[in-house]
Amino acid sequence: MWSYIVRRLLLGIPTLLGVTLIVFSLLHLAPGDPINAMLPPDAPQEVVEMIKEQMGFNKPLPVQYWRWLKRVAVGDLGNSIATRRPVLDDMREALGNTFILALSAAVLGFTLGVTLGTTAAFYQGRWLDKLASATAITGVSLPHYWVGILLIIVFSVELNWLPAMGMRSTIGESSLRDVARHMVLPTIALSLIPMGVIMRMARASVLEILSQEFVMTLRAKGLWSRTVTRHIVKNAAPPVLTLMGLQFGYLLGGSVLVETVFSWPGSGFLLNLSIFQRDIPVLQGVILVLAAFFVILNLFVDILHSVIDPRIRRT
């Protein structure tokens, strides 16, 4: 058990290093000299040279990478070009906002997905199954940013029930209820893809277990169907759980579009802002933190998986 965990943790290190390498190279992917992104075009030559010296841009790339990596390792992601504040300070609140939105979308999407998927499997081939499968494929085919706009059109413009943008009302006291009202529409828009993906996986894995002989044996032994269901759920759960971990990571990293539609002050919104201000340190910071989180999440899911299903550890 422990040897598996240690092995898995060690495997995470090269991946994390690779992530930093990609994030570092983002700055150099940007067209032109990275220095141009930081200074106005009419900056005097001496200033350009000074900044270059300061930032280490006159050193060879591997040296630059190493210096950057050393700073990142101690949690220094540099300063934002736009706000001059440390990137980490700008990100802290945004990450928290993204997290609560992703969490509520995950809860909604996973609950619907598992319910629909399991129901579909038990009613395989009948109209309930067909309806659930159609819902799932529609869920993954819908552009969620468009669904966001549709939700705004229906519930904010036409019905005027729910707020269309932001996280808190500008007037009046900010209360938990106020934030919750702002969360409803983005949560629905974000939950569609995890709902569809989890539904398909839950259906497939429940079907696979249902076709196995031990289920038939249990039934033949005259066991009450709820007991059989418990066995089925226990066996079908691991692949679904793994996928849930992945999907939660996608929600955290992929909410940029929905956050933009609803002006939700999260990390995706910050990322979008940094792209248009050409604020590369913020761009790098947001992506690095989200990707690192995704790697750690995957690690956690793998380890959890091995706890539930000991067969994994042998491979």
Contact call for residue 275 and other proteins (CB under 8 A) = yes
Under the binding rule (CB under 8 A), the answer on residue 280 touching other proteins is: yes
Q: Candidates 46-54, 137-145, 182-190, 212-220: pick the segment binding other proteins (CB under 8 A).
A: 137-145
Please tell me whether residue 290 binds other proteins under the rule CB under 8 A.
Answer: yes
Q: How far is the CB of 44 from other proteins (least distance, A)?
A: 26
Question: What sign results for the dihedral spanned by CA atoms 64, 65, 68, 69?
Answer: negative
Nearer to other proteins, 232 or 252 (CB): 252
Taking the least distance from each CB to other proteins, the nearer of 35 and 179 is: 35
Nearer to other proteins, 16 or 179 (CB): 16
Q: If binding is defined by CB under 8 A, does position 212 make contact with other proteins?
A: no
| Least distance (Å) between residue 135 CB and other proteins | 12
Please report, as residue ranges, which positions from 7 to 46 form the binding site for other proteins (by CB under 8 A): 14-16, 18-19, 21-23, 26-27, 29-31
Within 154-193, the residues that bind other proteins by CB under 8 A are 157-158
Among 13, 47, 107, 153, binds other proteins (CB under 8 A): 153
How many CB atoms are located within 10 Å of the residue 149 CB? 15
d(CA 33, CA 55): 13
Q: Which DSSP string corresponds to the chain?
A: -HHHHHHHHHHHHHHHHHHHHHHHHHHHHSSS-HHHHHS-TT--HHHHHHHHHHHTTTS-HHHHHHHHHHHHHTT---B-TTT-SBHHHHHHHHHHHHHHHHHHHHHHHHHHHHHHHHHHHHTTTSHHHHHHHHHHHHHHHS-HHHHHHHHIIIIIIIS--S--SSSS-SSS---HHHHHHHHHHHHHHHHHHHHHHHHHHHHHHHHHHHTSHHHHHHHHTT--HHHHHHHHHHHHHHHHHHHHHHHHHHHHHSTHHHHHHTT--SHHHHHHHHHHTT-HHHHHHHHHHHHHHHHHHHHHHHHHHHHH-GGGGG-
Number of residues that bind other proteins (CB under 8 A): 50
Instruction: Choose which of 13, 137, 180, 216 interacts with other proteins (CB under 8 A).
Output: 137
- Smallest distance, Å, CB 209 to other proteins? 14
Q: How far is the CB of 255 from other proteins (least distance, A)?
A: 8
Among 245, 294, 302, 306, which residue sits at the site for other proteins (rule: CB under 8 A)? 294
| Residue 209 binding other proteins, by CB under 8 A | no
Q: What is the contact surface with other proteins in residues (CB under 8 A)?
A: 14-16, 18-19, 21-23, 26-27, 29-31, 137-138, 140-143, 145-147, 149-150, 152-153, 157-158, 249-250, 252-254, 256-257, 260-261, 271-272, 274-276, 280, 283, 287, 290-291, 294-295, 298
